[in-house]
């Protein structure tokens, strides 16, 4: 019985780690190709006029 509880805890820990990894390891907002960053700035600046 103890072995099943340990396995369940290990599986849950791995699941939580995978979810955390996929949520917080993506690209940052400022990273990416320079052209994409330039387009993003142009769309933000166009609303200021």
Read off the pTM: 0.50
Extract the tokens encoding 7: 């396995």
Q: Give the span between the Cα atoms of 9 and 31, in whole angstroms.
A: 36
Question: Over the stretch 18-34, which tens digit does the pLDDT of each residue have?
Answer: 999 999 887 666 665 66
The terminus-to-terminus CA distance of the chain in angstroms comes to 68
Q: Please say whether the dihedral angle defined by the alpha carbons of residues 2, 5, 11 and 16, taken in this order, is positive or negative.
A: negative
Q: Give the residue with greater pLDDT, 8 vs 26.
A: 8
């Amino acid at each position: 019985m103890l072995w099943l509880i340990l396995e369940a805890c290990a599986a849950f820990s791995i699941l939580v780690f995978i979810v955390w990894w996929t949520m917080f390891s993506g690209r940052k907002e400022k990273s990416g190709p320079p052209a994409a960053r330039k387009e993003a700035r142009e769309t933000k600046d166009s609303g200021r006029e």
